[in-house]
Amino acid sequence: MSNGIILWGAISLRALRVHWALHELGLSYQFRPIQSRTGETLTAEYTGHNPKQKIPCLQDGDFTLTESPAIVNYLFNAYGAGKDVHLPRNAAEQARADEWSYFAMMELDAHSLYLIRRHKFLSEIYGEAPVAVASAAEYCLKQINAVAPAVAEFDPYIFGERISAADILLATTLDFAERYEVDLPPSCRIYRDRAFARAAFQAAKARNEDLDAA
Ligand SMILES: N[C@@H](CCC(=O)N[C@@H](CS)C(=O)NCC(=O)O)C(=O)O
């Protein structure tokens, strides 16, 4: 357990990734439930922690970290030893974890889903771009369909019985895709549902949505 951890960021799926990692690791933490596009990320205090003015941001003592995949991996590496989670045991496993993580973060999250979010669901801020949105949705579905057979082989997670940081990144991003109207193939839906049924995920989701938290 650590009492020096503070997580900034509520409601957002990217903040949820960090809440989930903290719950899987059984870590206590303080929560600053600031949200995107409310002005709360623009304060001088928060900008001091994250000049990018985005959530999530983690403080662990005097160590400050942004970018949800970096934070999830940091927490697993710093606090996962001896816990009921999977940590890569060799270079090949680390590479496999990286492969799934970069796939989720780059091919799905950055290249396609964030584009759909900005130019379809937040078009009043970022402008409409229907051709780009349709192309991104098609691209995202093609990428997800390409990995669906491999996801069907997870037993039940990427590395077997124990959940890994890469699972947190992949499962949340597949859910992100479904929210943005990408039709998940059955193996991906089953995997996401299985991961989200975990007690740690359910507790994390409740905390992520608890705007009265301090
Ligand atoms: N790559 C970053 C993205 C962070 C991000 O875009 N956060 C959104 C909320 S999900 C945000 O803070 N948006 C506020 C804004 O764009 O002003 C991560 O994964 O942490």
Q: Convert the pLDDT of each residue in 170-197 to its tens digit.
A: 999 999 999 998 999 999 999 999 999 9
pLDDT value of residue 2: 47
Q: Which CATH class is domain 91-199?
A: mainly alpha
| Whole-number Å distance between alpha carbons of 106 and 140 | 11
**How many whole angstroms from 150 Cα to the centroid of ligand 1?**
29
- Residue 214 clears pLDDT 80, i.e. is over it: no
User: What confidence tens digit (pLDDT) does each residue in 99-133 have?
Assistant: 999 999 999 999 999 999 999 999 999 999 999 99
pLDDT value of residue 195: 98
| Whole-number Å distance between alpha carbons of 202 and 172 | 13
Instruction: Tell me the mean pLDDT in the region 34-48.
Output: 97
- State whether the beta carbon of 208 lies less than 6 angstroms from ligand 1: no
Q: What CATH superfamily classification does 5-85 receive? A: Glutaredoxin (3.40.30.10)
pTM tops 0.85 = yes
pLDDT value of residue 213: 77
Ligand 1, closest atom to CA 56? 20
Query: Mean pLDDT score of the chain, rounded to an integer?
Result: 96
- State whether the beta carbon of 55 lies less than 6 angstroms from ligand 1: yes
- Rg from Cα positions in the chain: 17
Domain boundaries, the chain: 5-85, 91-199
| Whole-number Å distance between alpha carbons of 34 and 41 | 7
- State whether the beta carbon of 68 lies less than 6 angstroms from ligand 1: yes
**How many whole angstroms from 13 Cα to the centroid of ligand 1?**
9
Q: Which residue blocks in 9-164 are alpha helix, DSSP H?
A: 13-24, 44-49, 68-79, 91-102, 114-116, 123-126, 130-152
Decide the pairing of beta strands 5-8 and 30-32: parallel
Q: Which of 32, 37, 43, 55 to mutate to test the pocket of ligand 1 (most atoms within 8 A of CB)?
A: 55
User: What confidence tens digit (pLDDT) does each residue in 56-80 have?
Assistant: 999 999 999 999 999 999 999 999 9
**Coil, strand, or helix at residue 182?**
coil
